[in-house]
């Protein structure tokens, strides 16, 4: 059976929109008059049981000597989402897409935490330096760029920053905004781990009720894939806390496009079906100890 959900609200922020578009993103996230949908309390348990069955099947196929298999959206969905963003280039060095993605996501975190930017490339580079060796390779790559290459990167980053400034809403502290919220869901006794990272998660989980809002930033990946990555993260949050997020927002920093949608049960069922099929269809036997 093919499950079809209502299409999300998708719009573009006009150039020079200032905080107006961000205000609309916030209004769309808050829309609903304070009400939040309630979900069947057995939903998370049923999805977990479904995935546990598939995980044990994959573990049996991999054999007793196989190490833990850590899976993120890149492996499961062919997405650029999740830890690391876009992959490295063919030479093992950070690709242009990876470098841009890391800088833009650093700027997004600064906007959420501080609300302002000065020089986008310098701000992003300083934030990545503060992360230490986690971002060391990207920092060294940027610092080694020639003048023209660095100017080109600065121009690209400035365009993305302009859109982020228009799109990212100012969030009150009561929303408890938290960036880079990592989710890990162990299956089959920890021998398979589903993982992902929310660019931004706001709100507090409530038993049996959808109460969280999640936001993701795309630097230009295909919109349907980025949207599926958000659905995957919604599934992980459902497994982690017992209730799915209430609403999802996707911001595309390259174009200024943004979309906001409700999380629906069919999103979660469709994603769980995909993950279970991946595990049961041989995907779990591809490699040992791999991640991504």
- Residue 89: its pLDDT value, please? 46
Does residue 241 sit within a domain? yes
- Residue 209: its pLDDT value, please? 66
Residues 277 and 187 reside in one and the same domain = yes
Regions of the chain where pLDDT drops below 70: 1-20, 31-38, 79-92, 207-210, 282-292
Residues 55 and 117 reside in one and the same domain = no
- Residue 173: its pLDDT value, please? 86
Residues 18 and 125 reside in one and the same domain = no
Residue-number span of the structural domain to which 76 is assigned: 9-81+172-285
- Residue 48: its pLDDT value, please? 97
Residues 117 and 262 reside in one and the same domain = no
Does residue 2 sit within a domain? no
Residues 66 and 126 reside in one and the same domain = no
Tens of pLDDT along 213-271? 999 999 988 889 999 999 999 999 999 988 888 889 999 999 999 999 988 899 999 99
Does residue 88 sit within a domain? no
By C-alpha distance, which of 279, 280, 273, 283 is closest to 1?
Answer: 273
- Residue 103: its pLDDT value, please? 98
Does residue 247 sit within a domain? yes
Q: Which of 114, 134, 165 lies at the terminal end of a domain, its last residue?
A: 165
Does residue 87 sit within a domain? no
Residues 161 and 176 reside in one and the same domain = no
Q: Which of 145, 165, 185 lies at the terminal end of a domain, its last residue?
A: 165
Residues 182 and 280 reside in one and the same domain = yes
- Residue 78: its pLDDT value, please? 81
Does residue 138 sit within a domain? yes
- Residue 205: its pLDDT value, please? 74
Residues 65 and 179 reside in one and the same domain = yes
- Residue 14: its pLDDT value, please? 47
Residues 130 and 260 reside in one and the same domain = no
Does residue 14 sit within a domain? yes
Q: Which of 108, 141, 165 lies at the terminal end of a domain, its last residue?
A: 165
- Residue 93: its pLDDT value, please? 80
Does residue 268 sit within a domain? yes
Residues 38 and 178 reside in one and the same domain = yes
- Residue 128: its pLDDT value, please? 97
Q: How far apart are CA 49 and CA 236, in angstroms?
A: 14
Residues 131 and 69 reside in one and the same domain = no
């Amino acid at each position: 059976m093919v499950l079809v959900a209502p299409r999300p609200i998708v719009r573009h922020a006009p150039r020079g929109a200032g905080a107006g578009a961000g205000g609309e993103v916030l209004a769309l996230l808050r829309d609903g008059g304070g009400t939040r949908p309630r979900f069947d309390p057995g939903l998370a348990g049923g999805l977990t049981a479904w995935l546990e069955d598939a995980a044990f099947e994959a573990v049996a196929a991999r054999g007793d000597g196989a190490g833990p298999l850590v899976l993120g959206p890149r492996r499961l969905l062919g997405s650029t989402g999740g830890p690391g963003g876009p992959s490295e280039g063919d030479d093992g060095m950070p690709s242009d897409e990876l470098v841009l993605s890391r800088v833009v996501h650093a700027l997004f975190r600064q906007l959420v935490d501080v609300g302002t930017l000065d020089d986008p490339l310098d701000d992003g580079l300083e934030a990545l330096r503060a992360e230490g060796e986690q971002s060391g390779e990207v920092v060294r790559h940027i610092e080694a760029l020639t003048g023209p290459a660095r100017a080109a990167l600065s121009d690209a980053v400035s365009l993305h920053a302009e859109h982020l400034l228009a799109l990212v809403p100012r969030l009150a502290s009561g929303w408890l905004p938290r960036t880079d919220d990592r989710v890990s869901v162990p299956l089959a006794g920890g021998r398979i781990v589903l993982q992902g990272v929310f660019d931004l998660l706001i709100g507090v989980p409530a038993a049996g009720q959808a109460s969280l809002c999640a936001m993701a930033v795309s630097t230009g990946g295909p919109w349907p894939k980025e949207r599926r990555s958000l659905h995957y993260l919604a599934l992980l949050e459902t497994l982690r806390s017992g209730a799915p997020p209430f609403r999802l927002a996707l911001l595309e920093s390259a174009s200024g496009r943004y979309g906001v949608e409700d999380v629906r049960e069919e999103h979660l069922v469709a994603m769980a079906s995909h993950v279970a099929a991946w595990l049961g269809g041989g995907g779990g036997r591809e490699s040992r100890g791999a991640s991504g």
